[in-house]
Structure 1
């Protein structure tokens, strides 16, 4: 086992945070942007923000004051007074015209002061302002009063501008400044967004050299290509992996070739949905012959099932809420023939006409964000018990086990959903002909892993471990993080060293 090391420095982290916040704001954050009010707190925040930025712009003046004091004390010679005066003016131009404006346009409307107070410069319609507008605003707000008025009219010129700007700001709706009125901008409170770095999340998580449950973009919810997975597996220190896509074996042919190229051992795999005694299970097939025509039928039936369910969701939604979604058109854009309830909900909430529907309005008004409203709508409408829920039928466990075995594979019970399965049902399922159990996985609780390990030992079954890694679509799972303790690795290694006909041992 080894620990994940950090990858990013402070500057890189800051850039990533700013980019992520801007991306979030463009997608949906602008809808939740809060304009500045005239209450005391908002005025204090705005004033504090401006004073912080102003202090940064005036930093060269502090240098001038320090030199002047040292000259008065006789520490520095008098002839330095004139050159330091001109150096200070040049630095003031750089900090007031260049530094503040550059930071604002690079940070999409932020400044150090606005960053600390949670504010941002945007257009009047709350959309992000262009880089040129952001640069001009900082020149009007800071550059001109500090460098221009300060040079021609000394401190009096700056004070007159600041007093006039303060009066305009206080009496204007949303505390708009002179620059805001000229450029058509405003300052808003930026919606809060929680940003986590992957390296921080997993730096204390142990990475296993064996990961037998990984999904590529051949799965409907996978993200990375087969080669991307090998690159990441190599970086994570994995020695053996298996790509187990949902009801699809297409990744295996590529993976076998890439295994040699990247020096990572590979076990052909698949994960197949099935039903047993009214419950949905998943079967992991290892060492399968992916060329077997039975897997073509598995994929074909899966696509047909998902398409039928997607069309039915759309029909029920139209019947229940009067919202018409062109499901056929959506299905044309996905090779998996699956349009989930969440995808439908996202499409609806992005449509301005549908956002005016009373049903959608209720979710928007009672949620803290569009994202939360979408999640709640999708759960209430499309999950079990909802008016648009569609129950799908899956092949029987017996048939799926037979397919895996006919393809010379080893059938392993996936840990998916095992938290909700009682021991008796699992034992009944194992009796159907399983060869192993996925014991170690982030999909289940620690106590469930203990139960599964006990059952594997009692029935003398193979023990497997997998991360269920999908990529950014399932951000809580990390490649190589299987929750398999070091002392249990030898149990998993038995499976990785098995021969294709090991089930007949």
Structure 2
């Protein structure tokens, strides 16, 4: 997999989520949408799981879209969430064991978050949350959707901002790796480790510090990053001599596949 060729050819999206984590669409439907959007290459980067990759790859063969097996690993550093995109991953025993522990941890975390909402008078159950997660990894968006469906709060983003974000009443940390552990895990699985959406970190000094940890690349283009951000992270990529990637961070129809300031 040659990232430089993919970027040069255009019509790619290297940050895409499916129902295997917190996306709205099945892997097959995501690939159909990618084809309709004129994309040639897509990376399936679900949170802490590879469950959607095989289905997406089969759909990729059917629809003529190259599908890169990938993941978005959750890590934490200096109190900040640091997401790492792992590209061209081959699942092995160590990675599978870590992902299983993370999945089990997410379900326990979900139960504790649900308990907190119940204490606040928002009565929801794990079964109601699983209506949205189905067989995939349980994530905060599924809990937010259950709250909205019950009519307690009308706006999905409000649930996040007022209750689920870091420091809010129902926030609980999940099982988290360190960035170094995440990078090592991806490398052992034969993949490339890329720092995701650095703009979300909110501190470029920390971004620069992280890039000394062994990252292979940085997400220079992302739908939440403006042109100034893109140029800044492009300069860092050149300085550290690492790969440049980009993606929409697609989850639902509020996001556009392939739309992130780079074609």
1:274 aligns with 2:75: yes
Following superposition, the deviation at residue 250 of structure 1 comes to: 2.1
1:443 aligns with 2:244: no
Structure 2 Cα separation of the partners of residues 230 and 317 of structure 1: 35
Equivalence for 1:453: 234
SS of equivalent residue, structure 2 residue 15: strand
1:427 aligns with 2:225: no
1:215 to 17, 21, 39: 17
8 Å CA contact 1:309, 1:392 repeated in 2: yes
Please list, as runs of the form range in 1=range in 2, the aligned pairs for 1:143-222 lying within 5 A after superposition. Answer: 208-219=10-21, 221-222=22-23
Deviations 1:71-106 (A, max 9, x none): xxxxxxxxxxxxxxxxxxxxxxxxxxxxxxxxxxxx
Following superposition, the deviation at residue 381 of structure 1 comes to: 3.5
- Which protein has the larger Cα radius of gyration, Structure 1 or Structure 2? 1
Structure 2 Cα separation of the partners of residues 258 and 226 of structure 1: 8
1:317 aligns with 2:117: yes
Following superposition, the deviation at residue 288 of structure 1 comes to: 1.2
Following superposition, the deviation at residue 300 of structure 1 comes to: 1.9
Q: CA RMSD in A?
A: 2.5
SS of equivalent residue, structure 2 residue 223: coil
8 Å CA contact 2:102, 2:175 repeated in 1: no
Structure 1 Cα separation of the partners of residues 47 and 230 of structure 2: 22
Deviations 1:159-203 (A, max 9, x none): xxxxxxxxxxxxxxxxxxxxxxxxxxxxxxxxxxxxxxxxxxxxx
Structure 1 Cα separation of the partners of residues 40 and 160 of structure 2: 39
Following superposition, the deviation at residue 279 of structure 1 comes to: 1.2
Structure 2 Cα separation of the partners of residues 388 and 213 of structure 1: 28
8 Å CA contact 2:106, 2:175 repeated in 1: no
Higher helix share: 1
Equivalence for 1:343: 145
Structure 2 Cα separation of the partners of residues 213 and 376 of structure 1: 24
Following superposition, the deviation at residue 470 of structure 1 comes to: 1.8
SS of equivalent residue, structure 1 residue 392: coil
Q: Tell me: higher relative CO, structure 1 or 2? Use CA pairs within 8 A at least 6 residues apart.
A: 2
Deviations 1:305-326 (A, max 9, x none): 322222222333344x3x2635
8 Å CA contact 2:82, 2:201 repeated in 1: no
Deviations 1:121-156 (A, max 9, x none): xxxxxxxxxxxxxxxxxxxxxxxxxxxxxxxxxxxx
Please list, as runs of the form range in 1=range in 2, the aligned pairs for 1:36-435 lying within 5 A after superposition. Answer: 208-219=10-21, 221-289=22-90, 291-319=91-119, 321=120, 323=121, 325-330=123-128, 333=131, 334-335=134-135, 336-338=137-139, 340=141, 342-349=144-151, 371-372=154-155, 376=158, 379-415=161-197, 418-435=199-216
SS of equivalent residue, structure 2 residue 161: helix
Following superposition, the deviation at residue 420 of structure 1 comes to: 4.1
Following superposition, the deviation at residue 443 of structure 1 comes to: 2.4
8 Å CA contact 2:82, 2:196 repeated in 1: yes
TM-score by length of 1: 0.46
Change (3 A) 1:446 1:305: farther
- Structure 1 unaligned spans of 5+: 1-207, 351-369, 486-505
- Structure 2 unaligned spans of 5+: 1-9
Following superposition, the deviation at residue 276 of structure 1 comes to: 1.6
Change (3 A) 1:285 1:209: same
1:484 aligns with 2:262: yes
8 Å CA contact 1:330, 1:339 repeated in 2: no
SS of equivalent residue, structure 2 residue 154: helix
Structure 2 Cα separation of the partners of residues 412 and 400 of structure 1: 10
Change (3 A) 1:328 1:239: closer
Deviations 1:46-73 (A, max 9, x none): xxxxxxxxxxxxxxxxxxxxxxxxxxxx
